[in-house]
């Protein structure tokens, strides 16, 4: 694994905007010295590295499913801050094996040893369009003889064909609170993959979904019944909403309710309990850092690197945020590897239960947040 430089394509901004990355300016804080999509650099991996990473993330995914089974069978919902009234419904969702679509592992990897799991974004992962479409066209334009770890688009279409959903259209729900357009475009892209798979779809804002109390069903703004819906809207927000008690019992949601356990960072501690010393895991605990002298405290339901605290013998570093009332997990801290002063996080994509591709974000800091840039990759031919 190495970092290389190259000249950006002339007019690259219009190119990526035409391919759907219309939010690349709005999604990045102002005043930064580099763009969100940065094709002046890229990472090069060997085929052997990619094949090894594929095996590792599929093993991690299988371990995560085992962890869900463990939580459900032992009733450890309090560790995940799941409301008491929703716990039986989480169990039923898992026991039914409600259908799931995709997820993204965030990994520490430097090319010299096993990848280390940082977290699993299994409910509402973004940076999908960049990973699936934008970097693929970059590869075709700049390195047409090389390959890329990227079968995301094809796998998504195949997965939509496999899913057994209720009859009628599938609704695709975004939130009007999305100020950058990133979530709306991610939902629109997934809606397009479903349509390519032959499904009938309807776009809807989460704020426009209503509850028909008389007929006991969810409806859209046109009063059409919602039988199945993809939502880029976290389950913890749904459970905190007034209609949450209906949501857990009515309609088929993608991602399913059982994924609220995978998208919660308490998962990291449960994995360490079930697989202590596993080479792809970092030590993690729910009751404090224990023997760890270097650790990072992560809020169970935090997002975008907010409300985190890194503690090392050299000092403490914190990020601002409003998360943490739900509790923290304490994970062993290993600084992200540095490549020319930049620190990459590998986002390994799962579609259904198979590894499907890679997206890389990098920043100069120790925590990857909304100031990071997305950079493409290739497999050397």
- What confidence score (pLDDT) does residue 306 get? 87
User: Which ranges of the chain does DSSP label H, i.e. alpha helix?
Assistant: 12-18, 47-74, 87-96, 128-129, 135-142, 152-162, 182-196, 235-240, 244-247, 266-274
Q: Are 247 and 372 in a shared domain?
A: yes
The SS3 assignment for 128 reads: helix
- How far apart are the C-alpha atoms of 150 and 138, rounded to whole Å? 12
CB-based burial label for 332 (10 Å; 0-12, 13-18, 19+): buried
Q: Are 181 and 208 in a shared domain?
A: yes
- What confidence score (pLDDT) does residue 327 get? 93
Q: Cα-flanking dihedrals φ and ψ of residue 374, to 5°?
A: -90, 130
Q: Are 106 and 198 in a shared domain?
A: yes
- How far apart are the C-alpha atoms of 328 and 331, rounded to whole Å? 9
The answer to whether the CB of 320 falls within 8 A of the CB of 309 is no
- Please give the tally of structural domains in the chain: 2
Which residues make beta-bridge pairs with 379?
45, 147
The answer to whether the CB of 260 falls within 8 A of the CB of 80 is yes
Owner of token pair 């995560």? 64
What's the Cα-to-Cα distance from 272 to each of 11, 202, 228, 303, rounded to whole Å?
Answer: 47, 41, 35, 22
Q: Are 236 and 326 in a shared domain?
A: no
Q: Are 27 and 99 in a shared domain?
A: yes
CA 350, chain centre distance (Å)? 9
Q: Are 322 and 182 in a shared domain?
A: no
- What confidence score (pLDDT) does residue 31 get? 67
Q: Are 304 and 345 in a shared domain?
A: no
Q: Which of residues 313, 332, 351 is at a domain's end?
A: 332
Which residues make beta-bridge pairs with 16?
none
Domain assignment of residue 363, yes or no: yes
What's the Cα-to-Cα distance from 40 to each of 5, 9, 24, 32, rounded to whole Å?
Answer: 6, 9, 15, 15
- How far apart are the C-alpha atoms of 295 and 233, rounded to whole Å? 29
Q: Are 74 and 33 in a shared domain?
A: yes
- How far apart are the C-alpha atoms of 57 and 377, rounded to whole Å? 18
Domain assignment of residue 271, yes or no: no
The answer to whether the CB of 180 falls within 8 A of the CB of 26 is yes
Domain assignment of residue 99, yes or no: yes
Residue-number span of the structural domain to which 325 is assigned: 283-332
Supply the pTM of this predicted model. 0.95
Q: Residue-wise pLDDT tens for the chain (381 aa)?
A: 999 999 999 999 999 999 999 888 766 666 677 899 999 999 999 999 999 999 999 999 999 999 999 999 999 999 999 999 999 999 999 999 999 999 999 999 999 999 999 999 999 998 999 999 999 999 999 999 999 999 999 999 999 999 999 999 999 999 988 778 888 999 999 999 999 999 999 999 999 999 999 999 999 999 999 999 999 999 999 999 989 999 999 999 999 999 999 999 999 999 999 999 999 999 999 999 999 999 999 999 988 788 999 999 999 999 888 898 899 999 999 999 999 999 999 999 999 999 999 999 999 888 887 778 999 999 987
Domain assignment of residue 273, yes or no: no
Q: At what angle do helices 266-274 and 47-74 cross, to 10 degrees?
A: 90
Q: Are 182 and 298 in a shared domain?
A: no
Beta pairing, strands 170-174 & 228-231: parallel
Domain assignment of residue 32, yes or no: yes
Q: Are 349 and 371 in a shared domain?
A: yes
In the chain, at which residue ranges do the beta strands (DSSP E only) sit? 2-5, 41-45, 102-108, 116-121, 170-174, 201-205, 210-212, 217-219, 228-231, 252-254, 284-285, 295-299, 309-312, 315-318, 328-332, 343-351, 354-363, 373-375, 377-379
Q: Are 312 and 349 in a shared domain?
A: no
- Both tokens of residue 152? 């995301």
What's the Cα-to-Cα distance from 130 to each of 42, 193, 251, 312, 317, rounded to whole Å?
Answer: 13, 15, 30, 34, 30
């Amino acid at each position: 694994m190495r970092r290389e430089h190259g000249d950006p394509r002339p007019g690259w901004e219009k190119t990526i905007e035409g391919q759907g990355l219309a939010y690349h300016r709005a999604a990045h804080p102002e005043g930064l010295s580099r763009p969100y999509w940065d094709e002046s650099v890229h990472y090069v991996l060997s085929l052997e590295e990619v094949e090894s990473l594929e095996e590792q993330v599929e093993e991690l995914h299988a371990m995560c499913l085992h962890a869900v089974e463990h939580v459900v069978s032992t009733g450890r919902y309090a560790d995940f801050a799941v409301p008491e009234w929703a716990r039986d419904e989480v169990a039923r969702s898992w026991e039914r094996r409600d259908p799931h679509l995709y997820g993204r592992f965030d990994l520490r990897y430097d090319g010299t040893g096993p990848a280390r799991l940082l977290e699993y974004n299994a409910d509402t992962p973004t940076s999908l369009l960049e990973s699936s479409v934008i970097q693929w066209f970059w590869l075709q334009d700049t390195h047409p003889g090389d390959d890329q770890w990227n079968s995301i688009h094809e796998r998504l279409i195949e997965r939509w064909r496999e899913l057994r959903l209720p009859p009628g259209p599938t609704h695709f729900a975004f939130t009007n609170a999305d100020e950058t357009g990133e979530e709306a475009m991610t939902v629109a892209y997934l809606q397009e993959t479903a349509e390519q798979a032959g499904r009938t779809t309807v776009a809807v804002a989460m704020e426009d979904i209503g509850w028909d109390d008389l007929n006991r069903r969810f409806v859209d703004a046109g009063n059409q019944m919602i039988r199945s819906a993809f939502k880029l809207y976290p389950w913890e927000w749904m459970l905190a909403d007034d209609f949450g008690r209906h949501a857990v019992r009515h309609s088929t949601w993608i991602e399913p309710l059982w994924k609220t356990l995978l998208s919660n960072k308490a998962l990291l501690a449960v994995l360490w309990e079930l697989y202590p010393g596993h080479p792809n895991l970092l030590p993690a605990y729910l009751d404090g850092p224990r023997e760890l002298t270097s650790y990072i405290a992560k809020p169970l339901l935090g997002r975008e690197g907010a409300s985190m605290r890194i503690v090392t013998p050299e000092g403490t570093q914190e990020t601002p945020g409003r998360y943490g009332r739900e509790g923290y997990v304490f994970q062993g801290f290993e600084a992200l590897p540095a490549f020319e002063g930049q620190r990459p996080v590998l986002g390994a994509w799962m579609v259904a239960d198979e590894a499907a591709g890679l997206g890389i974000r990098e920043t100069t800091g120790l925590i990857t947040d909304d100031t990071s840039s997305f950079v493409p990759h290739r497999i050397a031919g």
